[in-house]
A and B are shown apart, each in its own frame.
Chain A
């Protein structure tokens, strides 16, 4: 069964420094997608970045990059130059069967709470 593991319940980082949030996954499917979402204290879920299992390059979106190591089944989120507004919960999620034509169910990890200090 598919599973997402985020082993860091909480992380601290100084403003302007980089931080890595860990995510490992378990799947037997060859085609899958990995996602990171940010959840501020207001509660909404904000999509950050996506990585497909067949993508050869690591995904990047502005200050966010995804360190995808397929053999190790890890998909760590790297936030460069942290800002105070980055303080939030961060969730890693996975979807299997990317090309199966079926519905797109996301499985979420437990999340990591990031606190950015000035």
Chain B
């Protein structure tokens, strides 16, 4: 079945470390997105990509970086510059034109220890 796979499900980071969250889709979707969710809050857009080798900053891109070398993959790196990285991270994808919404991965919960 087609879908989005995020890994790992849980991730622990030490202060000052960079960590990379994986997101892979086999839906042949053009666009991919990264959202951050803090407890009791909605989703905020970090980065998005419409096509391979192109991506744009969302509303809260500071301290994060992404790459889109393959259509299927959109990894997110949480750098040491991100001051408060503990959150739930959701990856999503969509076809270029859609009316049925995004397809989301199951999320990665990142905790700074």
Contacts and interface: CB of A to CB of B under 8 A. Distances in A.
Contact of B88 (A37, A43, A50): A43
Contacts of B33: 105-106
Interface stretch (B14-22, B60-68, B78-86, B91-99): B91-99
B106 A35 contact: no
A87 B68 CA distance: 36
Given A44-B106, A103-B31, A104-B94, A91 B42 contact: yes
Given A91-B42, A108-B42, A101 B97 contact: yes
A66 B91 CA distance: 26
A37 B40 CA distance: 15
B22 to A, nearest CB: 16
Interface residues of A, number: 25
A47 B3 CA distance: 13
Contacts of A109: 42
A103 B109 contact: no
Nearest to B107: A43
Interface in A31-50: 33, 35, 37, 42-45, 47, 50
Contacts of A108: 35, 42-44
Contact of B48 (A37, A43, A52, A103): A103
A51 to B, nearest CB: 10
A9 B105 CA distance: 24
A78 interface: no
Given A104-B31, A104-B94, A44 B42 contact: no
B100 interface: yes
B101 interface: yes
B45 interface: yes
Interface string A88-108: 000101000010010111111
B50 interface: yes
A43 B101 contact: no
B107 A111 contact: no
B32 to A, nearest CB: 10
A116 interface: no
Interface of A: 4, 9, 33, 35, 37, 42-45, 47, 50, 52, 91, 93, 98, 101, 103-111
